[in-house]
Amino acid sequence: MMNAPLKQSPIAPAAALPGALDIRNLSKDYLIDGLPLPVLENINLHVQAGEFVSIVGASGCGKSSLLRLIVGLEAQYKGDILLDGERIDATSLERGIVFQDHRLFPWKTVSENIAMALSNLPLDKADKARRVTEHIQLVNLQGFENAYPHQLSGGMAQRAAIARALITQPKILLLDEPFGALDALTRVRLQHELQRLWIQQRSTMIMVTHDVEEALYLGDRVIVMDARPGRIKHQVTVDLPHPRNRSHPRLHALKDELLAELVSH
């Protein structure tokens, strides 16, 4: 079930979804004991609609802060973050996020958790139920609709979290180390599934990760960030078509390049 081959999506691929992200001169400070501590400094990044961008970097390079700003959980920043030309200053159903810890509500079943995302969309009950069923199929969780999160494995919980983030058909999906807490085998499987979902949905995706191989396997582009303060240090374009072969020599060459970049100062 976990290794289900690419199959026809029950949902029509959202063709030509907008979702171009433009980050200009972004800086962000946190106040520590009244003193500003810079976490992000002068970030400039353009992400095309439908592009998959991976961000790697050492702990403390502000990559998670960057995602929190894009999703709108933090509104105070200098510079501009524009999604299709509109400045981001709050959360919106146009932007979905998957956290490292699945953050499902433990008191709700898988279906209820996924359905929560539809709470304020103008859909009737039957439509919502149909969408939930489709998305449970999309992430291969059939049979677990009525399970509570504590009854799921880490990988299954993360699939449910991905379904919850995708069900609103966001223009852009943000992934904050989504597979960081999973075992190696589950991680490989979910990377494969995420690739399949991305090919089907073609929404813009930005994934933060520690794992260089994961970043290269999934990303059209990999951004390397440096810490204190967080800034973009390097980027590589992965010019291989999807779905990719993990053992492609080009990926290995790029991995060496990125690792060298990550350890250098």
Partner 1 sequence: MNAFVRRSRGLVLPILLIAAWEYTSRQGAAQAYAFVPLSSIAQGFSQLLASGELLTSIVASLQRTCSGLLIGALAGIVVGAAMSVSTLVERALSPLYHTLRQVPILGLIPLIALWFGSGEGAKVLIVSLAAFFPMVLNAREGFSHVDKRHLEVATVLELTSWQRLIHVQLPAAMPAIITGLLHALAFAWVSSVGSELFLSSGNGLGNMMMNAETGSRMDVVVIGVLCIGLLGYGMNLLFSRLGQYLLRWRGSR
Among the listed residues 80, 84, 89, 101, the single contact to partner 1 using CB under 8 A = 101
Determine, following the binding rule CB under 8 A, whether residue 249 of this chain makes contact with partner 1: no
**Least spacing, CB of residue 257 vs partner 1, in Å:** 35
Among the listed residues 21, 45, 69, 117, the single contact to partner 1 using CB under 8 A = 117
Distance CA 190, CA 206 (A): 16
Among the listed residues 71, 132, 156, 207, the single contact to partner 1 using CB under 8 A = 71
Distance CA 239, CA 254 (A): 11
Distances from the Cα of 203 to the Cαs of 117, 172, 194, in angstroms? 17, 6, 12
Residues in binding contact with partner 1, number by CB under 8 A:
24
In the numeric block, which tokens belong to residue 12? 């029509």
| Stretch binding partner 1 (CB under 8 A), from 36-44, 69-77, 129-137, 175-183 | 69-77
Pick between residue 113 and residue 140 the one whose CB is nearest to partner 1. 113
Instruction: Write out the DSSP string of 11-65.
Output: S---TT----EEEEEEEEEEEETTEEEEEEEEEEEEE-TT-EEEEEE-TTSSHHH
Distances from the Cα of 153 to the Cαs of 49, 78, 131, in angstroms? 33, 40, 23
Q: At what angle do helices 154-166 and 125-138 cross, to 10 degrees?
A: 140
Determine, following the binding rule CB under 8 A, whether residue 73 of this chain makes contact with partner 1: yes
Determine, following the binding rule CB under 8 A, whether residue 233 of this chain makes contact with partner 1: no
- Binding mask 119-158 toward partner 1 (x if CB under 8 A, else -) reads xx---------------------------xxxx-------
Determine, following the binding rule CB under 8 A, whether residue 49 of this chain makes contact with partner 1: no
Among the listed residues 116, 181, 227, 251, the single contact to partner 1 using CB under 8 A = 116
| Stretch binding partner 1 (CB under 8 A), from 85-93, 126-134, 183-191, 201-209 | 85-93
Inter-residue contact 246 to 217 (CB < 8 Å)? yes
**Least spacing, CB of residue 96 vs partner 1, in Å:** 8
Residues 6+ apart with CB under 8 A from 233: 57, 224, 225, 226, 261
Q: What share of the chain is helix, strand, coil (3-state, %, to 5)?
A: 30, 25, 40
Determine, following the binding rule CB under 8 A, whether residue 92 of this chain makes contact with partner 1: yes
SS3 state of residue 176: strand
Among the listed residues 17, 49, 58, 93, the single contact to partner 1 using CB under 8 A = 93
Where does this chain bind partner 1 (CB under 8 A)?
Answer: 71-73, 91-93, 96-97, 99, 101, 103, 105-108, 116-117, 119-120, 148-151, 164
